Structure 1
Amino acid sequence: MRKATWISILASAAVLLAGSGAAYAVHTEVPKQLTGGPLLADTQRGSAPKSLKDIIYETQKLVVMIETKDGTQGSGFLYNNQGDLITNAHVVSGVKKVIIKTADARELEGEVIGISTDIDVAVVRVPDLAGMEPLQMVRSEKAEVGDEVIAVGSPLGFQNTVTTGIISGLGRSFEIEPYTYKDLYQISAPIAPGNSGGPLVSKRTGEVLGINSAGIEESSIGFSIPIVNVLELAEAWSAEPMTSLPELAFTDDNGVVQQDASISEYAGYLVTHFYDSLNNADYVYAYSLLGGNWKLGTSYEEFREGYMGTRNVVIDDMHVTTKGDDEATVAAVLSVDERVDGEYKLSKYQVTYEVGYENDQLKLIIGKGKAILQDKKRT
């Protein structure tokens, strides 16, 4: 599919984040200048901090993409050694069987064994995942405002995407039929359609804090259900799977409509996604997003070496201009913290990308950039 199906909410500012669509790849060319209270659970207090790279690697292995026969796409994560995944109910509503796509490119069959009519949570059993060591859950005390977090999922079909942020609010509530969402974490980690059901993870220990479930339209504000609020329910389904599943009314009559994402939405997201990958030092994944012409001229070793001196890239401004349904131009202004002559300095660049499809995958076909401002060196 070239375009993903989003869930858009007319009755509320908050929107569910399930969507559908295949994973797309990014092709980018950037000039050489750019290549250069208690905190959580009781058990966490004694846990040794892990590196960000270790947490991302360990989490990604246990997060999956979930697809249904009607094209709905979301995320889920392994929470026990029986092969059971926790996800959102709105990701798997109306179906018994789902397709599970793992981080190692396997395609497995899953069965919904529990789904709530009161809380937006469900459990999917995947026999082929039984025996695997699951993610660790926070089982008692909740996170606090300011705690650093990682969101993992498949926004817009980009499997195993990682974004970072903080807990920016507590106890948030709103209604998106058929659910009333209560006691949510508000998060600043960017999430998008397809993140639904993915884990919100502590950046300090790698333990699961919540289930990413909804977001505000046209903003970077997201919401996550605290895992401590649903673990007992999930474990009950795992112990005794439901014999019949309730039907949930996700229809136009209750304020939920299906809407196609435009090329401009994809194009802007892909540029952001590429730089997020680089900021997380996930060079292998970032390189996998490059298109064919770029890879022909640049090996992975050259690509990685080019970005080793870049500590952080922030997109200050972005503008997308469409050229029909399948092409767009993205212009952005970047602030880049880069190492030059052994010292870090903050520079600004203006970049422009031509976005289009190659073999049904979205690419950044052409990229140009130039330095527009360079600050004095910082020690």
Structure 2
Amino acid sequence: MNKRIWISVIASAFIVCGGFGAALAVHTEVPSRLTGKPMIAVAEPGKAKPLKDIIFETQKLVVMIETDDGSQGSGFLYNLDGDLITNAHVVAGSRKVKIKTADARELDGEVIGISTETDVAVVRVPGLAGTEPLQISRDEKAEVGDEVLAVGSPLGFQNTVTTGIISGLGRSFEIEPYLYSDLYQISAPIAPGNSGGPLVDQKTGEVLGINSAGYEQGSIGFSIPIANVITIAEGWSKEPMDELPELTLSEEPDNLDEEASVEEFADYLVTHFYDSLNNADYVYAYSLLGGNWKERTSYEKFREGYLGTRNVVIDNMHVNDSRDDKATVIAIISVDERVNGEYVLSKYQVTYEVGYENDQLKLLSGKGKAIK
């Protein structure tokens, strides 16, 4: 798992959610007009889909992007050429990148376009050519109150889905060398590694934006409207850059030591665990358990234990001071669970020990007791 802290900028308020690079003097030229029709999926307006179908279809086409220097972010397939849209700061300073797909394939990618003015880039992945891409909302803008999904790989947890709404429009700020303007403000939580992932309409599955930055305090994120940059991306897909701007990292994020990282992210891991259970993704939830826990509990037994759980809400949670590279998370949860054939609302106090195994943050142990 990438153990980098969020980069604090603009009076420690805004953060980009991946590796960041500064632009040098090379200017990125983008054709102002394109001929021919791009091979891009455009959604039919007004077509509503079940939420679980939208999540499943979106996750298949969102990837993790890794650079040689260890930076990590997200990207999504937008055309039939195998081209991914991502943030420029995710791939800054790299020509070749590694792609990890939702079905565990590892593919080679090449950056074919990157801007020094707008935080957007395109990565070509020959191994994805011919794959049906995500639908793009080319012209319509989202409105406040629209329900959205943010999909990406925050903190290295691939294919994470968070939900929220468009909570603001037209937001602007600067993170050198980029001026971010006309952004969507979203309530869907995002974290390091979300950068470059799609913001998706919960009702239609259309891509509305590119998740690009988060607010250090509270569940506030910011997305670039896809309609503002789709023409730039299509320009690079049609005419890839022969030479990329020489972008270098302006500020190398400090690495947290493992003790600090555990305390920083332990509550996030527990929340992510219950989100997976609520989405009935038992395989992924099981993957978050440590090795000793898995030895004591088979996947079949784990899954069976949660089949009667319909929904889990975390009412309260706090993290104890970490010791020996571990932290203790204590939470009060409300559970809608099936008892004697009927669903009842129960409350539990759960305690988890969180720590690293092979550089991956895991739930090492857990116990719970009912609250009467």
Give the structure-1-normalised TM-score.
Answer: 0.85
The match for 1:258 is 254
How do 1:1-379 residues align onto structure 2 when only pairs under 5 Å count? 4-12=3-11, 13-18=13-18, 43-45=44-46, 47=47, 49-248=48-247, 250-252=249-251, 257-260=253-256, 262-324=261-323, 326-373=325-372
Moved more, 96-105 or 313-322: 313-322
Q: Give 1:363 deviation, angstroms.
A: 2.0
**Structure 2 unpaired stretches of 5+:** 21-41
Alpha-carbon distance between aligned partners in 1 of 2:19 and 2:272, rounded to the nearest angstrom: 17
Alpha-carbon distance between aligned partners in 1 of 2:324 and 2:295, rounded to the nearest angstrom: 27
Alpha-carbon distance between aligned partners in 1 of 2:183 and 2:85, rounded to the nearest angstrom: 17
Alpha-carbon distance between aligned partners in 2 of 1:257 and 1:369, rounded to the nearest angstrom: 37
AA at the equivalent of 1:370: K
Alpha-carbon distance between aligned partners in 2 of 1:303 and 1:318, rounded to the nearest angstrom: 23
Alpha-carbon distance between aligned partners in 2 of 1:53 and 1:343, rounded to the nearest angstrom: 24
Q: Give 1:150 deviation, angstroms.
A: 1.2
Alpha-carbon distance between aligned partners in 2 of 1:286 and 1:280, rounded to the nearest angstrom: 10
Q: Give 1:295 deviation, angstroms.
A: 2.9
AA at the equivalent of 2:17: L
Identity of aligned residues (%): 74
Alpha-carbon distance between aligned partners in 2 of 1:246 and 1:228, rounded to the nearest angstrom: 24
Alpha-carbon distance between aligned partners in 2 of 1:232 and 1:275, rounded to the nearest angstrom: 39
The match for 2:39 is none
Alpha-carbon distance between aligned partners in 2 of 1:42 and 1:93, rounded to the nearest angstrom: 31
Q: Give 1:42 deviation, angstroms.
A: 7.8
AA at the equivalent of 1:14: F
AA at the equivalent of 1:174: F
Moved more, 98-107 or 121-130: 98-107
Alpha-carbon distance between aligned partners in 2 of 1:325 and 1:123, rounded to the nearest angstrom: 42
Classify 1:163/1:149 alpha carbon distance in 2 versus 1 (closer, same or farther; 3 Å): same
Q: Deviations over 1:251-281 (max 9, x none)?
A: 24xxx74343621122111101101111222
Is the CA contact (8 Å cut-off) linking 1:178 and 1:250 kept in structure 2?
no
Alpha-carbon distance between aligned partners in 1 of 2:332 and 2:214, rounded to the nearest angstrom: 26
AA at the equivalent of 1:147: D
Moved more, 219-228 or 5-14: 5-14
Is the CA contact (8 Å cut-off) linking 1:4 and 1:19 kept in structure 2?
no
Q: Give 1:100 deviation, angstroms.
A: 0.9
Moved more, 230-239 or 296-305: 296-305
Is the CA contact (8 Å cut-off) linking 2:2 and 2:155 kept in structure 1?
no
Alpha-carbon distance between aligned partners in 2 of 1:360 and 1:17, rounded to the nearest angstrom: 20
Computed over aligned residues only, the root mean square deviation of the Cα atoms, in angstroms, reads: 2.1
Alpha-carbon distance between aligned partners in 1 of 2:45 and 2:306, rounded to the nearest angstrom: 34
Q: Give 1:292 deviation, angstroms.
A: 2.9
Q: Give 1:114 deviation, angstroms.
A: 0.7
Moved more, 202-211 or 86-95: 202-211
Larger relative contact order (Cα-Cα within 8 Å, sequence gap ≥ 6): 1
AA at the equivalent of 2:44: T
Alpha-carbon distance between aligned partners in 1 of 2:114 and 2:19, rounded to the nearest angstrom: 19
AA at the equivalent of 1:310: T
Alpha-carbon distance between aligned partners in 1 of 2:78 and 2:43, rounded to the nearest angstrom: 19
How many residue pairs are counted as aligned between the two chains?
347
Is the CA contact (8 Å cut-off) linking 1:63 and 1:102 kept in structure 2?
yes
Q: Give 1:108 deviation, angstroms.
A: 1.4
AA at the equivalent of 2:254: Q
AA at the equivalent of 1:231: I
Give the structure-2-normalised TM-score.
Answer: 0.87
Classify 1:258/1:7 alpha carbon distance in 2 versus 1 (closer, same or farther; 3 Å): farther
